[in-house]
Every structure is written in structure tokens, then in C-alpha cells.
Amino acid sequence: MKSAVIVFPGSNCDRDVAVALERITGKKPAMVWHGGHELPKVDLIVLPGGFSYGDYLRSGAMASHSPVMREVIERAKAGTPTLGICNGFQVLTESHLLPGVLMRNAGLKFLCKDVWLRVENTQSLFTNRYAKGDIIRIPIAHGEGNYFADPDTLKRLEDNDQVAFRYVSAEGEVTDAANPNGSQHNIAGIFNDSRTVLGMMPHPERLAEPALGGTDGRKLFESLLETVA
């Protein structure tokens, strides 16, 4: 598998996701600087967490107009698997590769903690190693993760099974108490309609190794290993 991690000047989880990719797939991803227009031919594009351009405006809004994103948008539209984590998810919605927006957390505070997710759809190159309904523990760390979309979009996402992960209680129930940021339908991650693009607020790369306190994120990277040649 060849993968590329896009590095914006304010990315700060670029190394973390590269380490997880390398540890689990055995191959080092290419680190691609935001200023370049040249994106190597790869089987997976990763938009990492962080604060792309400082995010003093809406998170990810500036990044969506950066030179490298023109190329990423083109490739993603042509079917190259693309994964956006946290700030990467925000960049994906701002770039219209995924519908909806990520608003300020309902509690108005940055929140860093482990949350429970339910795997809603395993029919994707990102989630095929999970079982449908798996309850997994993955950390979040964001101030703007409150997923919002208009009712038609939400209906389409639900009808097409485009919700990848939902915030749930430890017992797997979709409750308000389990929703850390006020996201509609407790949405933590969504696919595009062809399920080649995944955006998610939680950080699977942060719990992909026993020393860090858990390995529930590991299967996401293992899923990619199997699917992407």
C-alpha cells in the first residue's frame, strides 16, 4: 500500500497517523507538504488532525483552498480512498467531499477524552475488519466536532448507510449523554456516497497500540491494508 499524509503548516497529528500507518501496514507513508501541487500516485490519502492554517476562521476553511487540496479533491472524486481525521474531517466538509459542517462543540469547550463509538457500516475499505455493531473506544480531541447537516442530507446519509461511526454509551445506546459535542444523530464519522471517502472526528491513531491504553483504532488501519492493494 502506498499512502500519502498531507501536511499543512498547522497539522499536528501528521506524525501520529504516519506512525500508526507504518506500524500496522509496514509501509511508510509519503509526507506531502501543503504548498506543493504534486501529489505522488498513491492508494490512500490521509488528511491528519491539527489546526491546518491556525483555524482562526472556520476550522479547515482555509485548508480547503490550499494548492494541494485542489489535487486531493480531484483524486478523491476520481475514487482514490481518502481518510480525514479530526481537522481532516473538517477539511473534507469544507472541500465538499463530504456533506455537512462541523460546528463548535455544544458545550463550547475543547474536549479531549476517550469516547465509545458504534461501528455502523462495515461494508467499506476503512471498516471491513470491524463487525457491525462493534462498540469501540477511541479518543476525541476537538473544539469543533458538532456535526450538522440539513434534514434532507441527514436522511440521505442514513438511507444510504453513510454513517460510519456514532457516539454511544458503553452499552452501545445512542444517547444524549454519550454525545460529546452535540452532533446530529450522534454522528462521529461519515462516508461519501461511494464510501471511498471517510471523515471522522475521533482519532483511531491514538489507540492503536497497547502502550497507549488500547487498540480499538487498529482495525481501521488493518481494514485499509486488506482493501488497498
Active-site amino acid positions: 86, 203, 205
Type of residue found at 201: M
Q: Which of 3, 39, 50, 223 binds other proteins (CB under 8 A)?
A: 50
59 vs 121 by CB, closer to other proteins? 59
Burial of residue 32, with CB atoms counted within 10 A of its CB: 0-12 exposed, 13-18 middle, 19 or more buried: buried
Q: Which of 60, 84, 88, 139 binds other proteins (CB under 8 A)?
A: 139
Distance of closest approach, residue 132 Cβ to other proteins, in angstroms: 28
103 vs 141 by CB, closer to other proteins? 141
- Residue range at the interface with other proteins (CB under 8 A); choices 9-17, 115-123, 151-159, 170-178: 9-17
Q: Which of 56, 176, 177, 229 binds other proteins (CB under 8 A)?
A: 56
Site membership for other proteins, residue 31 (CB under 8 A): no
49 vs 100 by CB, closer to other proteins? 49
Report how far apart, in Å, the C-alpha atoms of 116 and of each of 10, 106, 191, 204 are.
Answer: 28, 18, 19, 12
Burial of residue 35, with CB atoms counted within 10 A of its CB: 0-12 exposed, 13-18 middle, 19 or more buried: exposed
Distance of closest approach, residue 218 Cβ to other proteins, in angstroms: 13
Q: Which of 118, 195, 206, 219 binds other proteins (CB under 8 A)?
A: 206
Distance of closest approach, residue 112 Cβ to other proteins, in angstroms: 5
59 vs 95 by CB, closer to other proteins? 59
- Cα gap 145→148, rounded to integer Å: 9
- Give residues in contact with other proteins (CB under 8 A): 9-13, 15-16, 19-20, 35, 49-51, 53-56, 109-113, 139, 141, 143, 203, 205-206, 209, 211-213
